[in-house]
Amino acid sequence: MQLTNRAKPVDRKPLSIAEKIYLPAVLKGMGITFSHIFKKKVTINYPEETRPFSPVFRGLHILNRDEEGRENCTACGLCAVACPAEAITMDAAERLPGEENLYREEKYAAKYEINMLRCIFCGLCEEACPKDAIYLTETFAPANYSRKSFVYGKDNLVIPHPKENPEAFAKAKGLIDERKAKANQAK
């Protein structure tokens, strides 16, 4: 049954004389290849140059802190619920007296894990978060030898401390701010 009319019957006519002596086609082809010698090359010299990320690129997650270095996450679990790949797990814990400089609110995530092999980098966790706590950055997971190492815990996810390591914090924060600006623009 013919579904579309895009199919073309194969032309099996014997070659014409011009085709039989091959030369016109050969010269035409050589003209095309010669013009390509002067075209711009598409190669990127990788270690020296890198291809810029797309503005909507979604990479590895980062867990945010506020200016005093307190973790934003309250382990509400909305990101885990939103996650279509079920890549996020967490254990909640109550903040003890004396830990006010560590966690912003009374409840925090004692364990927070994202399985980067399950994650599809859709960014729904970022959208679901009510506490400004999780963001996707412009980095990707480096290669590794074990599956276990792709389950990123808090040690891999939480942003550097703004007071102990201000430089790294500023760098990571810059990425977050950039994303926020883009999100606002989209709105």
Partner 1 sequence: MDMILLAVDWALVLEKTLFIGFIISISLVVAMYATYGERKIAAFIQDRLGPNRAGPFGLLQPLADGLKLFMKEEIIPTSSNKVLFILGPSLAMITAMLTSAVIPWGDKVELFGRTISLQIADVNIGILYVFGILSLGVYGIMIGAWASNNKFSLMGGLRAASQIISYELAMGISLIALLMITGSLSLGEMVKQQQEGLWNVIVQPLGFFIFLVCAFAECNRTPFDLAEAENELIGGYHAEFSSMKLGFYLFAEYINMFISSAVMATLYFGGYDIIPFYDESAWGFSTNIMALLGAAALFVKILFFIFLFMWVRWTIPRFRYDQLMNLGWKGLIPLSLFNMIVTAAVILFLKK
Residues that bind partner 1 (CB under 8 A): 20-22, 26, 29-30, 32-34, 36-37, 39-43, 45
What's the start-to-end Cα distance of the chain, in Å? 48
Q: Has 83 been labeled as part of a binding site?
A: yes
Q: Has 122 been labeled as part of a binding site?
A: yes
Q: How far is the CB of 12 from partner 1 (least distance, A)?
A: 15
- Return d(Cα 89, Cα 66) in angstroms, integer: 22
Q: Has 158 been labeled as part of a binding site?
A: no
Q: Are 63 and 154 in contact (CB under 8 A)?
A: yes
Closest CA to 159 of 187, 185, 184, 179: 179
Q: Has 78 been labeled as part of a binding site?
A: no
7 vs 32 by CB, closer to partner 1: 32
Q: How far is the CB of 18 from partner 1 (least distance, A)?
A: 14
> Following DSSP, what letter does each residue of 89-114 receive, concatenated?
EEEEEEPPTT-TTTBSSSEEEEEEEE
Q: How far is the CB of 140 from partner 1 (least distance, A)?
A: 25
Could you tell me which residues are annotated as the binding site for [4Fe-4S] cluster?
73, 76, 79, 83, 119, 122, 125, 129
